[in-house]
Structure 1
Amino acid sequence: MEPLRYLQGYAPEVLESVRRLIARDGLADYLASRYPQRHAIQSDKALYAFVNELRQRHLRNAPAIDKVLYDNRLDLTHRALGLHSAVSRVQGGKLKAKKEIRVAALFRHAAPEFLEMIVVHELAHLKEAEHNKAFYQLCRHMLEDYHQREFDLRLYLTWLERQA
């Protein structure tokens, strides 16, 4: 029985269901039926605008984001699909922190729902550093079906891994 590394922690019956889907080569069809579109956000500038629009809509009091970009160095092997960071620098005797969000380049060609889920996840880290109950409540506040999209994203990553 092949391990499903992106689905660890799910109930055994869910894993068995996924294994059956894989065995009958139905994973690609399932994903295509649920997520038939690809988004048009191809440039870092467009991604920045998308992230800021979501931040304005859901987290008005969160700090401004200074930089948003697709990062080719984030990939499945590093298990990082997105990254948020605060880069601190001293400027003229003052400490300035610049907030950055990096999204794995593989999402340049993914469904818009997956890109939105990754961005929501990284935006939630502006308020909650840890993956705790409050963090996931914030994610659900911004994206009602966050958990379903996260599960489907894990299926997508499983499919990508099997294609490689």
Structure 2
Amino acid sequence: MHDLPYLRGYPEVIRQQVHQLLLSNTLALTLQQRYPQQQHAIQTDKALYEYTQQIKRQYLKSSDPISKAVYDPKIHVVKNALGTHTQISRVQGAKLKSKNEIRIGSQLKQLPLPLLRMLVVHELAHLKEKDHNKAFYQLCQYMEPNYHQLELDLRLFLTCQEHAALSGTS
């Protein structure tokens, strides 16, 4: 069985099931049936920022503001995760100013909207919880009740894309 890098943290039984779906060429069909509208309309940094702000206003009104939400072509989805959040601190006069930025890998523009939402929710949750702990995942589920399934589906989607690229199919 090949590596399945997007599923490294998942149990072996799930990895074997995914491997079987890849061998039978049914993973792409399964995902297509689950997400018939493959690509979302949020294709620009401005649209991503507005989308992120909309979710933040709904669930995290009192959290620190977001100064930027962008698609970043420099993020490699396996090495650098799927997106990043940064808090940049700068001294201005006698004050320490802080800015929160969210960056999502630009290759993820091709995702179905529910999967993009899961990524945005994940990065927004880091405004309140820096670590991937129980409180972090509870916050993610508060903003997106189907969070864990969407995270797995995102990893399946990326696995399917990688498999297609390696096998020369699309």
Task: Using structure 1 for the length normalisation, give the TM-score.
Answer: 0.95
35-44 vs 123-132, which moves further? 35-44
CA-to-partner distance for each residue in 1:82-134, whole Å, 9 max, x for gaps? 11011111112211011101111012121101110000000000000100111
Change (3 A) 1:132 1:77: closer
Paired with 2:110 and 2:20, the residues of 1 have a C-alpha distance of: 27
CA displacement at 1:42 relative to structure 2:
1.0
Hey, what does 1:156 align to over in structure 2?
Answer: 157
CA-to-partner distance for each residue in 1:38-78, whole Å, 9 max, x for gaps? 21011111111100000010111111101111100012242
Q: Are 2:6 and 2:158, in contact at CA under 8 Å, matched by a contact in 1?
A: yes
Hey, what does 1:71 align to over in structure 2?
Answer: 72
Hey, what does 2:88 align to over in structure 1?
Answer: 87
Paired with 2:48 and 2:89, the residues of 1 have a C-alpha distance of: 23
- Counterpart residue identity of residue 16, structure 1: Q
Hey, what does 1:57 align to over in structure 2?
Answer: 58
Q: Please give the residue correspondences for 1:1-164 in structure 2 after superposition, counting only pairs within 5 Å.
A: 1-37=1-37, 38-164=39-165
Paired with 2:9 and 2:104, the residues of 1 have a C-alpha distance of: 24
* Other structure's SS at 2:159 match: helix
CA-to-partner distance for each residue in 1:9-50, whole Å, 9 max, x for gaps? 322222221111111001111111111212101111111110
Structure 1: unaligned runs, 5 residues or longer:
none
Paired with 1:46 and 1:143, the residues of 2 have a C-alpha distance of: 20
Aligned length: 164
Paired with 2:17 and 2:84, the residues of 1 have a C-alpha distance of: 31
40-49 vs 75-84, which moves further? 75-84
* Other structure's SS at 1:66 match: strand
Structure 2: unaligned runs, 5 residues or longer:
166-170
- Counterpart residue identity of residue 74, structure 2: R
* Other structure's SS at 1:78 match: coil
Change (3 A) 1:44 1:12: same
Paired with 2:88 and 2:55, the residues of 1 have a C-alpha distance of: 22
Paired with 2:104 and 2:78, the residues of 1 have a C-alpha distance of: 14
CA-to-partner distance for each residue in 1:131-164, whole Å, 9 max, x for gaps? 0111101100100000000001111111122123
Task: Using structure 2 for the length normalisation, give the TM-score.
Answer: 0.92
